[in-house]
Amino acid sequence: MSVTGTDGRELKAKGLETRRRLLDAAERVFGDVGFYDASIVKITEAAGVAQGTFYLYFASKQEIFEELVRDLNARVRRAMQEAAAGGSDRIEAERLGFRGYFRFTADHPALYRIIRQAEFVSPATLQYHYDKITEGYVEALRAAMERGEVARGEPEVLAWALMAIGEMLGMRWMLWQGNDEMPPRVLNQLDDLLVRVLQP
């Protein structure tokens, strides 16, 4: 899918690189000072670009915030999917997917703060974030139930419950404590919990 600037024109390689720098800078600024104290000036300074350059890619602070949520969402889903792909069955895929999620949040601790800000800054974007994560998740769990790999139940409820487990554990043991990785004892307990919840 092509990416366009504010003038509607498709971005070339250099434009895509500048846009990426702005998004990465926005992630740092929104994570550090929050949406309301952030400014386009702070974002462009962090990105190392002129203030006027910002408006070639985003119309406003609100727009770059919402695009950042979508961007982080796509990247965290990709990290979890790539990690889970190595699983021999659904329970193993869940274990690996959680590890992929925790690795991503270790590299992007601002994810937690930005998603929580979205509740007030852009509720529709917040809902988009969670809906996109559960979208494929529900189908994967349903398929695993059909294959007999996971205990039968309501896959949507299970997807939301598992997602909540990952988010809360990550916030408690990584964000608040500043850990680069999840403590092994927490991962071991999580693995045990996944077996007890999911095993047929």
Question: Domains of the chain: which residue ranges?
Answer: 1-59, 61-198
Tokens (6 digits) for 8:
């509607």
Q: CATH for 61-198?
A: 1.10.357.10
pLDDT at 179: 87
Q: Could you say which DSSP state residue 67 is in?
A: H
Percent of the chain with pLDDT over 90: 92
Question: Residue 37 carries which DSSP code?
Answer: T
**Going by CATH, does the domain composed of 1-59 fall within 1.10.10.60?**
yes
Distance CA 64, CA 79 (A): 22
Rounded to whole angstroms, what are the CA distances from 22 to 16, 19, 30, 46, 142?
10, 5, 12, 8, 38
Give, in order, the Cα–Cα distances in Å from 67 to each of 15, 36, 93, 95, 166.
16, 16, 29, 29, 23
Mean pLDDT over the full length of the chain:
95
| Residue at token pair 């390689």 | 13
Q: Which two tokens stand for residue 185?
A: 């004892």
Cα 3 versus chain centre, distance: 20
The DSSP output letter for 1 is -
Closest among 113, 117, 120, 157 to 138, alpha carbons compared: 157
Tens of each residue's pLDDT in the chain, 200 residues: 689 889 888 999 999 999 999 999 999 999 999 999 999 999 999 999 999 999 999 999 999 999 999 999 999 999 999 999 999 999 999 999 999 999 999 999 999 999 999 999 999 999 999 999 998 899 999 999 999 999 999 999 999 999 999 999 999 999 898 888 999 999 999 999 999 999 99
State the residue for tokens 């896959």.
155
